[in-house]
Amino acid sequence: MSIDVKKLREDFKEPFELITTSDGITLFLRKWESQSPSNKAILILHGITAYSGPYEMFAKAISKTGFTALGLDLRGHGLSDGNRGDYPSKERLINDLIETISFLKKNYSTLLIFGHSLGVLTALLAKLNSKEKIDGLILLSAGKTVNPGVYKSPSVLEKLKILMSSIFHPSKPVISYYREGILGLDDPLFNFKYTLRFMRLVGFKDIDLSEEIDCPILLGVGEHDELFSVESAQSLLDELPCKDKKFFIMPGAKHAVEFNEEVFNETKSWLTTKFS
């Protein structure tokens, strides 16, 4: 279904920011102001299929801790411009993240990044490539490897169609993203089709972890996460070259975490300890 992103932005009534990228694309940032004046902010990076809107409960909780929360809609997602479900290259993804961080650092001297699912990958890319100071990483619902059987393998014919499309129409989304229990099916701002070149960006194998990550990391996973086991999440954290890192399990939580007060308590405690 086609959506008029520009019109939806014009009609949006809540606080937001717009970023014009170096290649002329408009990126959308939802904004949840801190309840008291603050120069501290947390950038929220969403998971695959999603956008910043579904993270409102977490963002509102963040705003009560002295941080302003800002949720970025990736290019081609939510209320940002760009071909839906597509990224032209990994370099462009990294540039979008770097430019977003530079934009935020003009107003916030302390900046953390929160990433959920795919957002864990983009948070790490942002931290490892930005020259700006990132003060902390909060990473939820990701692991070294996906649980077996989560996704149905495409047939040989489907693989051939995807490959041919990627050669002749690389910007056309042809890969359907689906798994049991997926959310957002009734929300037109969710994406459920992606290009092959986008899906090739979704993985940790190409991330360079040779240099020390010089900020604290909090990594959590749901007790009943459908995609990543507790062991897989712990393995990911073990590989991150950081001296100050903490792991926690969210009791009863699935992959699409409901950011209620119980789940938020661990994050709140960590923020208070590290950034009060």
d(CA 117, CA 121): 7
Strand-pairing partners, residue 126, are: none
Residue 138 confidence (pLDDT): 97
d(CA 229, CA 266): 19
Residue 174 confidence (pLDDT): 93
Q: Mean pLDDT over residues 154-178, rounded?
A: 91
d(CA 138, CA 216): 9
Quote the mean pLDDT of the chain: 93
Q: How many domains does the chain have?
A: 1
* Class of residue 106 by CB neighbours under 10 A (exposed 0-12, middle 13-18, buried 19+): exposed
Q: Mean pLDDT over residues 108-134, rounded?
A: 97
pLDDT tens for 215-265 read 999 999 999 999 999 999 999 999 999 999 999 999 888 898 776 666 788
- Note whether 119 and 46 are within 8 A (CB): yes
d(CA 203, CA 205): 6
Indicate which CATH number applies to the domain containing 204: 3.40.50.1820
Q: Mean pLDDT over residues 53-67, rounded?
A: 92
pLDDT tens for 258-269 read 766 667 888 999
The region of weakest confidence among 108-122, 132-146, 196-210 is 196-210
14 token code pair: 């809540």
Q: What percent of the chain has pLDDT over 90?
A: 78
pLDDT at 113 over 90: yes
Could you tell me the pTM of the whole model?
0.96
275 token code pair: 């950034």
Residues 6+ apart with CB under 8 A from 78: 28, 46, 50, 51, 52, 53, 189
Residue 2 confidence (pLDDT): 79
Per the structure, the complete domain to which residue 138 belongs is given by: 5-275
